[in-house]
Amino acid sequence: MTATELCPGGPVLSPIVAGAWRMGDWGWTPPQRLAWIEQCIGLGVSSFDHADIYGGYAVEALFGEALALAPGLRQRMQIVTKCGIKLISPQRPGHRLKSYDSSRAHLVQSVENSLRALRTDRIDLLLIHRPDALMDATEVAVAVDELKRAGKVLHFGVSNFTPAQFELLDSRTRLATNQIELHPLHLAPLHDGTLDQAQRLQRRPMIWSPLAGGRLIGGDDSEAAQRVRWVLGSAAARLGCSPATLAYAWLLRHPSRPVPVAGTRRIEALKEALAALTLPIDAETWYEIWQAGSGHEVA
């Protein structure tokens, strides 16, 4: 499987990234978590997506506990994590309310916490999780430079940023990617300039919730979801693949060359995502799915 450079000179990730968001809900022992990590890497999914807040500030430590059973795996994987959201939690007694914080002090401390939890000496890609209205772009750049010089963060990017917010921070410190939500039930990035910017700057976006949190497969009875499921099902039957594979292929068809984050413990679901890498779809099929999600044909 060909590795994926997010931007020229940027981090190299697997073309499908394994999301660990719900690991705290899996109820697995450390050996079971390690087995999942090993299976992912065996499939060529060598990149793992985290955030400090996942599982109530617990998932990074669960992953690190498993990784400690086979520390040699660290050389075969890439770790992505996010920070900048402050949750009210027993794990963070100093947080008075949910808020965002992109200050130098918070970024540096968050990285230290993540390194300790993940039991690693470096983060391959650090993302600011959400835009902070009080973000001082120069202060962020100072923190990132400090972390990079210390070898604790290799590359830096953002998540859920608008094009203007991305441009501001990128003017101070080079951003590798913008991790955003995109699927047929959330089409805004296709039309608000987010993916235009990604393509212009050659910064491949990462995509969270590529299956709309599972709503593309089931569990959502809204008219839009039913339309999308029907089109995915009929087109998938025509193409000889699963609807989930087609949903991933729909994302991969975009010329910004997205990198989806598959948040699943099921190895079969990861295989469905990987199958999309070799499933070409034509523009009419792409627009057929777009139309199902938008509820109208193109103007």
Q: Is residue 223 part of a domain?
A: no
pLDDT at 189: 98
**Distances 27 to 47, 59, 211, 267 between C-alpha atoms, Å:** 22, 12, 23, 16
Phi, psi of 229 (to 5 degrees): -60, -40
Q: Is residue 212 part of a domain?
A: no
Q: Is residue 131 part of a domain?
A: yes
What's the structural domain count of the chain?
1
CATH code, domain with 142: 3.20.20.100
Bridge partners for 48 per DSSP? 18, 79
pLDDT at 30: 98
Q: Catalytic one among 54, 57, 100, 287? A: 54
pLDDT at 230: 97
Q: Is residue 204 part of a domain?
A: no
Active site annotation includes 54: yes
Tokens of 176: 């590798």
Q: Return the closest-CA partner of residue 48 out of 109, 146, 107, 114.
A: 114
Which positions of the chain have pLDDT values less than 70?
1
**Distances 127 to 52, 85, 130, 167, 220 between C-alpha atoms, Å:** 11, 11, 9, 15, 30
Query: Using an 8 Å Cβ cutoff, are 17 and 80 in contact?
Result: yes
Structural domain containing residue 41? 12-176
pLDDT at 3: 79
pLDDT at 145: 98
Which residue, chain included where needed, has tokens 């992912």?
40
Query: Residue 174 half-sphere exposure, CB side, CA atoms within 13 Å?
Result: 13
Rounded to 5 degrees, what angle do the CA atoms 130, 132, 134 make? 175
Burial of 119 (0-12, 13-18, 19+ CB in 10 A): middle
Burial of 25 (0-12, 13-18, 19+ CB in 10 A): exposed
Query: Using an 8 Å Cβ cutoff, are 274 and 16 in contact?
Result: yes
| Identity of the residue numbered 157 | G
Q: Is residue 190 part of a domain?
A: no
**Distances 109 to 52, 102, 258 between C-alpha atoms, Å:** 11, 11, 30
Query: Using an 8 Å Cβ cutoff, are 101 and 71 in contact?
Result: no
Phi, psi of 78 (to 5 degrees): -120, 135
pTM: 0.97
User: pLDDT digits over 16-61, tens only?
Assistant: 999 999 999 999 999 999 999 999 999 999 999 999 999 999 999 9
The neighbour count for residue 148, using CB atoms within 10 Å, is: 15
Which residue, chain included where needed, has tokens 């999914």?
45
Q: Is residue 80 part of a domain?
A: yes
d(CA 175, CA 158): 7
pLDDT at 219: 86
Q: Is residue 116 part of a domain?
A: yes
Residue 110 DSSP SS3? helix
pLDDT at 2: 77
d(CA 220, CA 197): 31
Q: Is residue 20 part of a domain?
A: yes
Query: Using an 8 Å Cβ cutoff, are 125 and 82 in contact?
Result: no
Q: Return the closest-CA partner of residue 174 out of 215, 207, 199, 140.
A: 140
pLDDT at 165: 98
d(CA 201, CA 193): 12
Pairing type for strands 178-181 and 156-159 reads: parallel
